[in-house]
Structure 1
């Protein structure tokens, strides 16, 4: 999670730098507002795609972990039942 926090921090700093650069650039107010709007939309779209990618990875990994956990649980259950049956056999033989 530390890497994603760092990535978000870098993206935020870049967005703030771009915003300030456009804000203090010598241009008409309407052009400056349009540039800010366009840049904000670009950064928002970029951030959304990165977040979607992270969520997709988490979802995929979570499903894999869940499937692996179920398989291990079933194997342990089978091993337990085998040991239990073997214990019953040993008990009846004595």
Structure 2
């Protein structure tokens, strides 16, 4: 299972548990709705942070891979030029 799916599953479970806990709490309807909205906003903020972290991580890996590919291409071009020079 990928870490993204695991994270999504954990967040969904936590959100469902919090929602059930709030719904069964002995508060007025307005207070319950207010708590649901606040918890929802908290979970959305947390999810945004996780997504931004994941995007940063992927961006770093893409940039590192791009750099490595550019190095390999440069080395290959150099070897081609060296081979051309020795055969002429």
What TM-score comes out, normalization by structure 2 length?
0.94
- Structure 1 residue ranges without an equivalent (≥5): 89-94
- Structure 2 residue ranges without an equivalent (≥5): none
Computing the radius of gyration from Cα coordinates, the structure with the larger value is: 1
**How far did 1:13 drift?**
0.9
Give the 4+ runs in structure 1 shifted more than 2 A. none
RMSD of aligned alpha carbons: 1.1
The number of aligned residues is 88
Aligned twin of 1:5: 5
| Partner deviation per Cα, 1:26-59 (whole Å, 9 max, x = no partner) | 1110110010000000000000000000001111
Task: State the structure with bigger RCO (CA 8 A, min sep 6), 1 or 2.
Answer: 2
